[in-house]
Each structure stands twice: as C-alpha cells, then as structure tokens.
Amino acid sequence: MFCVQCEHTIRTPQGDAGCSYARGMCGKTGEVSDLQDMLVHLLQAVSTYAVAARKLGIVDAEIDNYAPQAFFSTLTNVNFDADRIIDFSRRAEAYRNDLRRRYEAACAAQGVTPEALPPAAHYKLPDAKTVMLSDALQFALNRQKKEVGEDVIGLRLLCLYGLKGAAAYMEHARVLGQTDAEVAGKYHEFMAFLGTQPTDMGALFQCAMDIGKLNYRIMAMLDKGETETFGHPEPTRVNTVPVKGKAILVSGHDLHDLELILQQSEGKGINVFTHGEMLPAHAYPAFKKYPHLVGNYGTAWQNQQKEFAAFPGSIVMTSNCIIDPNVGQYGARIFTRSIVGWPGVTHIDDNDFSAAIDAALEQPGFTEDAAPVYTTTGFARNALMGAAPAVIEQVKAGNIKHFFLIGGCDGDKSERTYFTDLAKAVPQDALVLTLACGKFRFNTLEFGEINGIPRFLDIGQCNDAYSAIQLALALADAFECGVNELPLSLVLSWFEQKAIVVLLTLLSLGIKDIRVGPTAPGFLTPNLVGVLNQQFGLRLISNVEDDLKEMLAA
Amino acid sequence: MNAIAEHHLFWQGETPLTCISRTEETHDTATFELAAPSAQFFDFLPGQFVSVGAAIDGKTLWRAYSISSSPTRPETLSITVKRVAGGRVSNWLLDNVQPGVELPALAPAGDFALRPDDVAGSVALFSSGCGITPMMSMTRWLLENRADTEIHFFHSARSEDDFIFRQELRAMAEAHANLKLHLFLTQPQGRMSCHHGRLDAGRVQSLLPEGAGIRAYLCGQEHYMDSVSDWLCAAGVPESAIHRENFAPVAADVSVGVPVSAERFSLNVPAFGKTAEIAEGELLLDVLEREGLPIIGACRTGVCGSCKCKVAAGEVDSGSALPLTPEEIEAGYVLACSSVAKGDLVIEL
C-alpha cells in the first residue's frame, strides 16, 4: 500500500511520508488501500469515457451521480470494507463499458472517428481478488516517483485529494437533490486529466486551482440543498451532556439521514443525539420540531473509540469519520450508511433505520440527566448576513478590531492544542468564527459578547466555509476593500481531503496569508510548500504568541 | 497489464518473495536467498534490513532481518538467520524454509547503511554474533565499489564454529589488501588465526589506524555496542562518526514466546480505564491489541512508528526505537511492537 492522504500518515524522522506497510495509520489494511487505488483507476476510466461521450451529447445523470459517490468511499475514514470496494469497482467498470458502447455507437452514427483513449481507460477488472491485488501495484499513486520526481507526484496528489473532497461534497449535495450536469462534466474532466498521469506542473497547478473553483460551486449547491430542505440555520444553544433515556447517536454530515432517524424514532422513547459534524443540525428550523433531538454527545471523531464505547445506545455513521469499532467493543451497536463501511458492521442500505432503533432500545440508555453544558451553533450564511450590519457598525466604532476564522478538521496530534490556545488568546476586541469538527477544541469555552454580538460564532460543518466566504465578501463590500485587506485571519486545521479542497477553494478565490496546521500535508514537498507560500502567503502555524502578533499586525 | 512494469521491484505493502537457495553458514545459522516476483531487481542500501513474515499458528508474525547480500547483485536479496532460544520466527524460518517456499516481505528500510555518495576513506566495522549480517552486505559492496576504502572489520564470536561467513570473509581478506579482518574468539579451537578473548579498549586502540576521517559501524548486543562506542571515543573517534544499528530483531523475536512460568506484571492504561496483565517477555503491542485498545501496528517490526506509545510509569526493554526522535525517547515514548515489560507499566495512548 501507499497512502499519504491524511494528516495522520506515517512520517519518518528523515521526513519521508506515507503509509506503506501492512496497515495505514487510519487502520486501513494494505489490501483495502490497494483496492481503493484500483477503484480510483477505474473511476478515472469512467470519467475518460464520460468526457469523450459528452462531446457527442451523451450525458448520463446516473453515472454522473455514481462516480463522485464511489470516489467518496476512498476518502479517509470512510470505507474499510474490501468487498464493498470491489462492488464499487465492478459497478464502475460496468458504467465505463456502457459509456464506451454508447460512445462508439454515437461515433459510428455521426461518422466520427473514436478518440484514441489511453490504455488505462480500457482496464479489465479481474475476477479474482488476488489478481486485482497484483494489478493494483500498477495503480499505486507514487509509482512513477523516480521517473517524474516528487514535485509532480505531490501536485498530482494535491489535485486528486482535492477532487476527492469535492466529490464528497457533490455526494452530500446529491442526497439533498442538488445536482448539476455542468459541475459533473468538470468533475469528469479533472478526473480524466489526472488519469493521464500528467507531468506538466503548470497544468497540474492550474488543475488544483480549477478544482478549488469548482468546489465553490459545489458548496453553494450544498448550501442551497440544506437551506431549501431544512431552512436557514438560526443561532441555537445545544446541550452537550447526557440526557436520561434510551439513546441514538447520529454522526457524520448527512442531515437527510438525521431527519429519517428522527421521524422513525418519534414516540418510541428514544432521545437522539448528534455527534461531531452533525452538531450544526440543531440550528436548522426543520429539526427544531423534534423534541427528542436532545443534544450533542461527544467531541471530534478521533475520540470516538472512547466516547462511543461509553455511549449507552446505538450509533449511526452517515458519512466520515469511522474508526475501528472493535476497539471499545461497540461493533454490534454501530451502523453504517451510504458509502461508509466497516467489515462486520451492519450496513443500512435502504431508508429503514429500524435496526438502529431496535439496538438503541436494547441498550440501557442514560440513567441520569447531567447538569447542562451548552454550546451555541447556527451562525451560518443568513444569520451572519443578518448580523453583518451590526458587526460593521461595531467595526466602524472601533469595538471590533479583528476577525479570526479558526476551524477545520480535528485530529489526535498533541500539537493541535495550538488551536485551543489560539482561541483563548485572541484579544477581547476580536471575533472568533469557527466551523467543522476542529471547533470541539474550544466550543464550550466562554467567549462573551461585544455589545450584543457573540464573540464566538459557530458557522457549521466544514462545507459551511461557503457561509464564511459570504460574510468575508459582505464585509469587504461594506468596507470597500478586498477580502485580503480585511482585518481577517484564517487559521485552518486539516486532517483529510475535504479540508484540502476547502483550502484550494480559498486559494482559488485569491485569499492570502492563510495559516494551516498542525503539519504540512505529507504529499506536499518543501518545493511545493514554498510555491504556495510565495504565491498565496500560505504558511504553517508556528506558536500562538508569534502567530498572533503577526496576524494582528497585518 | 505489465506494460508499465519496471525492472526494479516496486514495493507496495507485502510482497511475496521466493526462496531460491539456502546455505547452512554454521551449525545454527543459514542464509536464505530470496527472489522477487517476475525476476525484478531489488533496490536497497548496504546495511539495511527487510521485514519478513512467517505464518505461524494462523497468524503472520513479522520480524526484521539485516540483508547480508550486496545491492550490486540486485537479482536476489539474502537474509542470514540464526537459531535462538524461544525465537519463534527465526526458528520457524530455519525449520521450514527451503527453496520454493514463498515469504511475504516489506520494503527494505533502516538508516544503518552506507550511502554510496558519502563513503569514508576508512571504515571500521564492529560486530558480534549474528550482528555480522549487515557488515557482510557493507563489506561485499565496498569491495566491489570502493577499492580505495580501507575496511577494518572487527568481529567477535564464541568459536570458529560460530563464526558466520568464516570462509567467505577470510577469502575476501586474502584477496583484498584493503580489507583487514580482526577476529576475536572467546573459545578458539585453534583452526584459524584469531585474537583470543574479547575485544577491549586496548585492542581497539592498537588495531585501529591513526588519523582522522574513520567512520565506525556497530552491530551487536546493546552492551557490546555501548562498550565499543566508549572505546572508540577514547581512541579519538568523534561520536558523530559512530553509527549503531539500533534495531535488535533477535530480542524482539525471542519476546514472542511466553513461557507459562513467566512472571506477570500489571499493565494500566488510565485514559481508557483498562488494567490488564502482561507477561515477562510478552510484546506490549500484543497485549494492547488483545485488550481492544486503540493502537495501530502497521509494520510490526519497529520501523514505521505507528504503534508509538508513552510509558508513563515502569520500564520496558525495546528492540527498536528507529522512528522515534531523541525528544520522544526522552519523553518516554516507545514502540509497542518492539517492547517488552520489565515490571508493572502505566501506558499513555
């Protein structure tokens, strides 16, 4: 195996990065990793034919939806089940063959000579897993490192991992009925391009920026899907401690699944808790009508083996992040959905959550109410826009001098205490905006207000970076300046590929001087980090004191 | 689908290697010559090791072995394995592997190696027992590629019969004037010329050539390397020129077998409210996994660092600390896959 897509990847003291042994740091086996490489290869073949077919007017919505969904299964902490990865691959091959047949028929009908597509587009999936694994050697992402150099490999991976994050958001949007043939076409173009094993660094860099731009559109689609389906989030206080009674915990990003669970568990004496990235759900009007949605349990994903083990009910993982449920022995009461998978864990394929509900009823539930501890969420696009005039007024009056966006994915490295320390250290005349699961490092701290405006504003999930961008644009408009001239500092924590594509989006919008941490992605070489620093002022976090001084002086 | 196959083996996780020959080196040591699939070439540095898997009782146990062959002969890769009391993998290899047997292996690794672009004009190799294996790879490579490098090879063994590679090494010393072989036997049988008894400070001082620029490589038991290191420093060799193999595969191998009579210690992981029992000689990783605690054993041979954990209280014996930084070691971090308990332990994950 070779996998370097997450922040947790193995790094040697000599600076080499990447999981390349029998198991990755996420727990993914070498076998699953290799099969995922093979799936990615097949999905590139699908996209190669999708691009060719589109030129002849063939657009297949089913395939357009499937391709990013299957790609999402290879994201960090999503699917660890070899059999399901093979199933995804077989379906990808079938779609590729179907597109090829229709493309060749269209060529014949229109008197067009079929394009000479690269040999990789014709790969035939073997019957036996052993042969697949032997073939997988050819699909290793670092295979050509000696020939093309580590900078080219690094740029390819920046694009591939960024596109993977964008594919995940496409799938989240699709679940809410938001699809766009043009967006799908661009996805296929990028995927097909990466399938050609490009070596032109300029073209790869441009591809990375274009993926960032595409993701801006996708985040807008997702925002539309969420707000049209569930209403605009409103600032909402959420209890973060146990409530007495039977319990179901819903984790991941998929609000649609949460709604189904709330509907199906209604009147059964079960309390529903959100976990991790599901916390912002409490702020959507559509969920406020469910009194049995009682709070949020636990913190960020990396603590789940301890927190889920202690949760006295059932757990549903609607999307990433899942980690080994056998640690903590809760494998029998956790359920996966959609593209999520873990060998031996019950997968809910249709919209019937009765298995998870029954499992919750069999568990003891919480025996006591804990004294409430609250966090506030729901400062998404509309709430922020509604507050913008008051915020602008306070800025003009000199009461708000700086904005910090501190957010992104959490992880278990000790260096991540930086983000807590930074949130605590920002001056009292500054606002702290946050999003994604990185917030759990500081979202129960007391930040207070500035003349009625809360100093701590939880925007929502990672994809709600879209809302943060809207606020920044509104402020820039009000102050008649560019976003980079605003007293706004972005400090992002990253772990997986959604964070990568959000970063690409910000860079593609021209936003500069972003700080990222706790470490640079393992696939970015020092040269590439240097280029990003030169072009965008992108830099790694150092220490809170120095960084804060620099950010406030900017 | 071999259109893009390369001549050199591209390691990707476990790769099956086939034993193509077996040579009995001594009464308890054999060299296994391994070939890659599709006759691909190996790419490694002289001195590095390779991790090999052995399917024992339904479980694949992984151990690292220094490569004894030279990268100048890339068609095959050899490991030389010595039988040790309680060494499950080493003994299994010696009992079961014959030409034709396939063994899973992981890519060569390790910093204890000669860098072709940075070889000193004078090299001192110090080994004891089966610590000779990486030295053999280095010597073979040096003789074929650096005729102008002086090699001072100090090897310690119990007797002529325990001297691994005795014929080849002596033949090489006769054929190459730049190879000076200094053999130390504690129980000489009189069949070959050697120094009687153990290596000591005085002998190092007198046998080591004078002058700056010598670089020393040490492989053997911890106490042997500690002593040699002290003697070299006393002889004026700067610490920065002394390189030690910090990996002790034999220690890790022995630790697998836990006798019924082994002493039992307590293992406490407070963050998870877990207390368990760990037997003397039992690998920390095995116990943590058995107790369902969150730890990843990716390479299981002390190479990758995935099973890094902190010993908050108690003491362990560690066979490898390869991927740990000096700061981490100072802070109490160890590799669970390469550590055994010396008493009660408190572990932080």
Nearest-Cα residue of chain A relative to residue B274 = A328
Check: complex ipTM more than 0.90: no
Confidence of residue B253 (pLDDT cuts 50, 70, 90): low
Confidence of residue B8 (pLDDT cuts 50, 70, 90): confident
Tell which of A203, A229, A255 closes a domain: A229
Confidence of residue B4 (pLDDT cuts 50, 70, 90): very low
* Ranges of chain A whose pLDDT falls below 50: none
Interchain contact, B303 vs A25, CB within 8 Å:
no
User: Closest partner residue to B305 among A10, A306, A329, by Cβ?
Assistant: A10
Residues A56 and A178 in one domain: yes
B10 contacts on A by Cβ (under 8 Å): 137, 140, 143
Task: Give yes or no for residue B305 having a pLDDT over 60.
Answer: yes
- How much is the pLDDT for B45? 93
Task: Give yes or no for residue B117 having a pLDDT over 90.
Answer: no
Residues A142 and A54 in one domain: yes
Residues A186 and A138 in one domain: yes
User: Closest partner residue to B306 among A1, A25, A34, by Cβ?
Assistant: A25
Rounded to a whole number, what is the distance in angstroms from the first to the last CA of chain A? 44
Among A485, A479, A487, smallest CA distance to A403 is for A487
Q: How many whole angstroms separate alpha carbon B145 and alpha carbon B114?
A: 12
Question: Which is more confidently placed, A283 or B121?
Answer: A283
- How much is the pLDDT for A13? 66
- Stated as kind and residue range, the H or E segment containing A424 is helix A417-425
Nearest-Cα residue of chain B relative to residue A136 = B12
| Partners of B62 in the β-ladder | B53
Type of residue at B141: W
Q: Which two tokens stand for residue A481?
A: 């300046």
Interchain contact, B12 vs A329, CB within 8 Å:
no
Q: Which two tokens stand for residue A352?
A: 């019937």
Which of A484-488, B240-244, B320-324 shows the lowest per-residue confidence on average (mean pLDDT)?
B320-324
Q: How many whole angstroms separate alpha carbon B221 and alpha carbon B129?
A: 9
Average pLDDT over residues B181-185: 95
Q: Which domain holds residue A500?
A: 378-553
Confidence of residue B192 (pLDDT cuts 50, 70, 90): confident
Q: Strands A449-450 and B316-318, how do they pair?
A: unpaired
Rounded to a whole number, what is the distance in angstroms from the first to the last CA of chain B? 43
Close Cβ partners of B267 (under 8 Å, ≥ 6 residues apart):
B275, B276, B277, B278, B284, B287, B288, B291, B341, B344, B345, B347
Tell me the CATH number for domain B122-249: 3.40.50.80
Burial of A291 (C-beta count, 10 Å sphere; 0-12/13-18/19+): exposed
A22 contacts on B by Cβ (under 8 Å): 13-14, 62, 106, 298-300
A48 belongs to a structural domain: yes
Tell which of A303, A332, A362 closes a domain: A362
Cα of A159 vs its chain's centroid, Å: 15
A333 belongs to a structural domain: yes
Long-range pairs for B226-233 at CB < 8 Å and ≥24 separation?
A: B228/B126, B228/B154, B228/B199, B228/B204, B230/B201, B231/B199, B231/B200, B231/B201, B231/B204, B231/B205, B232/B124, B232/B204, B232/B208
pLDDT in tens, A472-531: 999 999 999 999 999 999 999 999 999 999 999 999 999 999 999 999 999 999 999 999
A12 belongs to a structural domain: no
Task: Tell me how far CA of residue A402 lies from CA of A442, A446, A475, A544, in angstroms.
Answer: 19, 18, 12, 16
- How much is the pLDDT for B255? 45
Residues A155 and A67 in one domain: yes
- How much is the pLDDT for B61? 82
Peptide bond into A321 cis (omega under 30): yes
Residues A204 and A240 in one domain: no
Instruction: Tell me, letter by letter, the H, E, C secondary structure of A334-376.
Output: EEEECCCECCCCEEECCCCCHHHHHHHHHCCCECCCCCCCEEE
A36 belongs to a structural domain: yes
A460 belongs to a structural domain: yes
Q: Which CATH architecture has domain B15-109?
A: Beta Barrel (2.40)
Q: Is the pTM of this model over 0.90?
A: no
A5 belongs to a structural domain: no
Which of A40-49, A464-473, B223-232, B287-296 shows the lowest per-residue confidence on average (mean pLDDT)?
B287-296
A371 belongs to a structural domain: no
Where do the CATH 3.10.20.30 domains begin and end in chain B? 257-348
Q: How many whole angstroms separate alpha carbon A274 and alpha carbon A294?
A: 8
Residues A144 and A244 in one domain: no
Residues A84 and A205 in one domain: yes
- How much is the pLDDT for B259? 60
Average pLDDT over residues B195-220: 89
Residues A426 and A450 in one domain: yes
Which residues does B contribute to its contact with A (CB < 8 Å)? Answer: 1, 3-5, 10-14, 62, 106-107, 111, 271-272, 292-294, 296-300, 303-306, 323-325
Which CATH number do you get for residue A481? 3.40.50.2030
Residues A429 and A529 in one domain: yes
Q: How many whole angstroms separate alpha carbon B180 and alpha carbon B153?
A: 6
Tell which of A194, A210, A229 closes a domain: A229
Interchain contact, A306 vs B271, CB within 8 Å:
yes
- How much is the pLDDT for A427? 97
Residues A223 and A104 in one domain: yes
Type of residue at A100: R
Burial of A21 (C-beta count, 10 Å sphere; 0-12/13-18/19+): buried
Residues A97 and A215 in one domain: yes
Tell me the CATH number for domain B257-348: 3.10.20.30
Residues A39 and A135 in one domain: yes
- How much is the pLDDT for A14? 64
> Per the structure, how many domains does chain A have?
3
Where do the CATH 2.40.30.10 domains begin and end in chain B? 15-109
Q: CB A286: neighbour CB atoms within 10 A?
A: 15
Q: CB A194: neighbour CB atoms within 10 A?
A: 20
Q: How many whole angstroms separate alpha carbon A290 and alpha carbon A272?
A: 9
Nearest-Cα residue of chain A relative to residue B303 = A12
A177 belongs to a structural domain: yes
Which CATH number do you get for residue A55? 1.20.1270.20
